[in-house]
A and B are shown apart, each in its own frame.
Chain A
Amino acid sequence: MTRRVRLWILAVGGAGLAALLVAACLELPGFGGTSHPYGDRAVRASLARRTANTIASINFDQRAFDTLGEMSILFASVLGTVVLLRQTRDERRAKPEPAYVALPVRRYALIVLPVALLTGLYVIAHGQLSPGGGFQGGVVAATALHLLYLGADYRALERIRPVGLYEVGDALAASAYLVTGLAGLIGGAAFLANTLLPYGTFNTLSSGGTVPLLNAAIGMEVACAVVVLLARFLDQAVEIEQEGGT
């Protein structure tokens, strides 16, 4: 099939799809309307469970089972990346060379690193109160560690980042989520039901029942997963070389 034929087929298919989508959009409820039945009920349920951040309440209480699926997708994709990016038979591992880093870059990276790491942990810990949570804070904390790669070099990063430990942490956090869910069964309620712990005082760190626990498990899982993912890609870029080539 030549490029021209392919473009024609794309144009016909795209025009058809565009017509259908526009027709569907015209039938949607108007933008900014007042009718949000699910949203109103979710807000009410979240306030009844004393969780200030409604989105955390939806993710880790009302739709906690869906978040389990989401976490499994993340876990499976990390597993897939680890398998795909392993060292093959015709490759060898070269020791990374020490690299020169400009002084201002080194200074600011090392100053920002602890601040960024603390910000990540703060965002995870306050997930049930303010915007943020395990997913967002986990990414911030994991990328904060990689400032060491910018500020020093790859060997310094490898010293504080034993990948095996983070792989274990990833699996532990995933099972912590499952165990918290199973604890609901032991308490006589449904899987992942938020009935086990007291709901606490509204707008404090310990409010929301199991929401902070699940939030922390997700935070650890995401942080470990991102570290493992980035480690695999960085290994390919820095360490692994083709046999007899670059």
Chain B
Amino acid sequence: MSVLPYLVAVWIFLVGCYGIATSRNLIHAVGCLAVCQSATYVLLLAVGYRDGGTAPVFSDVKPGSRPVVDPVVQALALTDVVVGATVTALLLALVMQVSKRHGTVDPDELSELRG
């Protein structure tokens, strides 16, 4: 089953999309976006895995003594986590303003325009 981890990432992404589309609360939608984003962590780490590999940190592993997993995708996953956290913070701040101005966080009730 050498494609199973990739399919898990696809499944997490689609579940997150379903959550966003059917959400009745903006905070819940922000949470679903975080679920979508975690699919990219799973995909990145799955792409970089090597059979029997250990962490690419050589403070206690002699270089060349063991196979290590791909460090490039791990650095990308770190970038991904940071960007994800900042996007979540910004979106939650927007939700707070929406809630103050409109008195609701249900996206279905936010359809009317207001100046």
Contacts and interface: CB of A to CB of B under 8 A. Distances in A.
Nearest to B52: A32
A245 to B, nearest CB: 11
Interface in A50-80: 52-55, 58-59, 63, 66-67, 70, 73-74, 77-78, 80
Given A18-B10, A84-B93, 19 more contacts: A14-B14, A14-B17, A14-B18, A25-B3, A26-B3, A30-B2, A36-B48, A36-B70, A43-B56, A52-B57, A54-B58, A55-B71, A59-B75, A70-B79, A74-B86, A80-B93, A81-B89, A130-B57, A131-B57
A243 to B, nearest CB: 12
Contacts of A183: none
Interface residues of B, number: 49
Nearest to A33: B50
Interface residues of A, number: 54
A81 B78 contact: no
Contact of B48 (A10, A39, A129, A232): A39
A34 B51 contact: yes
Interface in B50-99: 50-51, 55-59, 63, 67-75, 78-79, 81-83, 86-87, 89-90, 92-94, 96-97
Contacts of A55: 56-57, 71, 74-75, 78
A150 interface: no
B110 interface: no
B2 A31 contact: yes
Given A14-B17, A17-B14, A30-B2, A54 B93 contact: no
A29 B43 CA distance: 12
Given A10-B21, A21-B10, A31-B5, A73 B57 contact: no
Interface of B: 2-7, 10, 13-14, 17-18, 21-22, 46-51, 55-59, 63, 67-75, 78-79, 81-83, 86-87, 89-90, 92-94, 96-97, 100
A52 B63 CA distance: 9
Interface in A156-187: none
A137 B3 CA distance: 34
A63 B75 contact: yes
A70 B4 contact: no
A10 B18 contact: yes
Nearest to B108: A3
